[in-house]
Chain A
Amino acid sequence: MNTPATTQPKQRTDAAAALRKRMGDNLVAIGERKDEVAFADIYSYYGGRVKSFLMGKGMNEEIAEELTQEIMITVWRRAESYDPAKAAASTWLFTIARNRRIDYLRGNSRIEVELDDEMLDLDNTESDSQEKFVDDEQAAVRLNKALEKLPHEQRQVMHLSYFRGQSHGAIAKWLDLPIGTVKSRIRLAMQAVRVSLQSDGGNLP
């Protein structure tokens, strides 16, 4: 969305793949040997985005700066728990920033599923489920293409939902649309991404 208009789709997706690899390598380097150069690269790319995310979600600049520093220190400390086979660096960063924001707002941690829970419905579980999310550069290219193919109105609500406003209801007010329309655009966007990942050789749910 802030990509220069002259860039061709092919170049954009190549760039997405290269960026994903570079940032994943950076996190691994920090995790393995506290690589300060790798951290500087992560920080200069994601630091400003984390802060922008927090401010877009309604935080004032002072608190956003403070939380961004905490989040980036968390990245520095916990990089060894990052597994490049499970998530892209961007996804890992996004979830840390999101969780820290919720902790701050609520004074309590986000309620998440424990992945090793023995109550998991095994009948309903495909054995290759983990492989569906193997993070390689091709996955970045496919997801990037799938998002670019979304109609403008769907991309707009997705962007607003992830990076602005508080809820689907707030987005509805902002765009002066019924909340049902916002929800159905989100639903259609999620379905379209899944369909286009499947038709593109991926194997997502």
Chain B
Amino acid sequence: MRVSHHLTDETLQDYSVGSLSAPMETLVACHLTVCQHCRDRAVLADQIGGELFDKFEPVSLSQTSEQLIKQAALSSPIHAPKTEQSSTRTFKDVPKPLARFLSAELDELDWRRIAPGIKQVNLSEQHRSLGAFKLLHLAPGVVLSAHSHSDRELTYVVKGSYQDEIGRFKAGDIADLDGEVAHQPVVDTDEPCIALIASHSPVKYNGLFGKIMQPFVGI
């Protein structure tokens, strides 16, 4: 897997701070799974957090360190946040951060047809006005309506590829788009393209057709 499209510094910094939504975090972690370049930059963002931590103004505490040590001896470990992730099943072509949201292999998922050549699996319960978190299955030759977002949109290519105004995106690549960018993805090979998408806000379609399609596609 040869990665050529990366996360922006501001998204990696937001990830380091812990301000991203769970869907956005998933997309970032999927890309970090395959990209050492972005992992290194994410580590730097954590190091900056640590360094600024040292300059931080402390507030007073109600316990002493001896009391905490006693408390630690009395209680069992409070929580083990790693267990859920490490027990996740594995699926072909699926990075582990995404696998935790899936119940079956990619081609066995409950794909819903939403437009000619376009199928989706919704991964979020929330209303689409709050943004999207979904897998899209795009048939060869499919052209999505030109659209933009009022906030961030992340697209991680799980399988296949697409092309838009920005470039060609293949498996492992991430499109980290700011609100200003409008794009029109086209599936450019004989293979279907499976993409994971997260956005904070609904899309704004440019053309009339897109506006009519919006309630159905909702990406």
Contact = CB atoms under 8 A, between A and B. Distances in A.
Q: A and B from one assembly?
A: yes
A110 interface: yes
A19 B61 contact: no
Nearest to A61: B59
Interface of B: 1-3, 8-10, 12-14, 16-19, 22, 25-26, 28-29, 32-37, 39-41, 43-63, 65-66, 68-69, 71-72, 75, 77-79, 81-82, 84-86, 95-97, 100, 151, 172, 178-180
A82 interface: no
* Interface core residue of B1, B55, B85 (most chain A CB under 10 Å): B55
Interface of A is mostly: helix
A90 B54 CA distance: 7
Interface of A: 1-3, 16, 19, 36, 39-40, 43-49, 51-53, 55, 65, 68-70, 72-74, 76-77, 87-95, 98-99, 101-103, 106, 108-114, 117, 119-121, 123-126, 129, 132-133, 140, 143-144, 147, 158-159, 161-163, 166-169, 179-180, 183-184, 186-187, 190-191, 193-194, 204-205
Contact of B13 (A125, A143, A190): A190
Given A110-B25, A133-B47, A72 B68 contact: yes
A49 B48 CA distance: 15
Contacts, number: 226
A103 B36 contact: no
Nearest to A52: B59
B95 A119 contact: yes
Contacts of A47: 58, 61, 65
Given A16-B54, A186-B10, A186-B13, A162 B48 contact: yes
A171 to B, nearest CB: 10
A174 to B, nearest CB: 14
